[in-house]
Amino acid sequence: DARVTQTPRHKVTEMGQEVTMRCQPILGHNTVFWYRQTMMQGLELLAYFRNRAPLDDSGMPKDRFSAEMPDATLATLKIQPSEPRDSAVYFCASGLDLNGELFFGEGSRLTVL
Amino acid sequence: GEDVEQSLFLSVREGDSSVINCTYTDSSSTYLYWYKQEPGAGLQLLTYIFSNMDMKQDQRLTVLLNKKDKHLSLRIADTQTGDSAIYFCAESSLSGGYNKLIFGAGTRLAVHP
């Protein structure tokens, strides 16, 4: 049963700490997206990769966020330093760049105190 | 710009039909989607419709597309308590050379006895 896997599922940290979230996309998918979900803003697109190349990270605060795909089986989203306003659920999604259908992971719930 | 709007809440009685509405702005969208999010989970694709269609039916789900008015609806027949979730409308937008999914804020469907 192919699915997108995200770790950690839950993370509580203190302001100023580094946070790294990981995503394993579905094997064979060539697009990876990072979304952030909050009650106030809904789903925000943070970053997009196609064939491991970053194509769009305009939704990401550049000073503290970074997204990478070191290989086809791993995408990472890093926040350094973290702030309380970063508290949210972060979703990774993968797909084939055909009809735009995305498969979402279960999310990483981040709480920054 | 790209924007997807939908009402935030809908409450229906079990057994009734639910209709969730959505408006979008990108007339060039190739596909339009309905995703479902259950508590504590990621988004899951329910159905999608190609922009040259005006209706698609899949068991209890009926999608209607009015391309002239840029209006999309999702009808759930015989709504069950298991249908309680947040439903997201999304349009695929060709931007910067790739298909990007733009999501609405989500409609929270509550099904009561």
Q: How would you write the pLDDT of chain B (113 residues) with one tens digit per residue?
A: 568 999 899 999 999 999 999 999 877 777 899 999 998 889 999 999 988 889 999 999 999 999 999 999 999 999 999 999 999 999 887 766 667 788 999 999 999 98
pLDDT at A70: 94
Best A102, A104, A108 residue to mutate vs chain B (most B CBs within 10 Å): A102
Q: Which of B48, B103, B105 sits opposite A101 (nearest CB)?
A: B48
A-side interface with B, Cβ within 8 Å? 4, 31, 33, 42-43, 45, 48, 50, 55-56, 91, 93, 97, 99-107
- What pLDDT is attached to residue B64? 97
pLDDT of residue A22: 98
| pLDDT for position B1 | 56
pLDDT 10s digits, B78-109: 999 999 999 999 988 776 666 778 899 999 99
Percent of chain A at pLDDT exceeding 70: 97
B2, B93 Cβ separation under 8 angstroms: yes
**pLDDT at res. B109:** 97
pLDDT for B44 equals 93
From the list A48, A99, A104, which residue is nearest B31 (CB)? A99
**Cα(first)–Cα(last) distance of chain A, in Å?**
36
Least Cα distance to B48 among B34, B61, B60 occurs for B34
Give the separation between CA B18 and CA A97, rounded to whole angstroms: 32
E-state strands within B1-113: 4-6, 9-13, 18-24, 31-37, 43-50, 55-58, 61-66, 71-76, 85-95, 98-103, 107-112
Side chain identity at B90, as an amino acid letter? A
Nearest to A87 by CA among A110, A61, A63: A110
Q: Under an 8 A CB cutoff, do A93 and B30 touch?
A: no
pLDDT surpassing 60 at residue A85: yes
The verdict on B87 touching A (C-beta cutoff 8 Å) is: no
Which among A55, A101, A106 has CB closest to B45? A101
Burial degree of A42 (CB within 10 A; 0-12, 13-18, 19+): middle
Spatial CA neighbour of B74 closest among B86, B63, B60: B63
Which residue in this structure is represented by tokens 């694709």?
A: B45
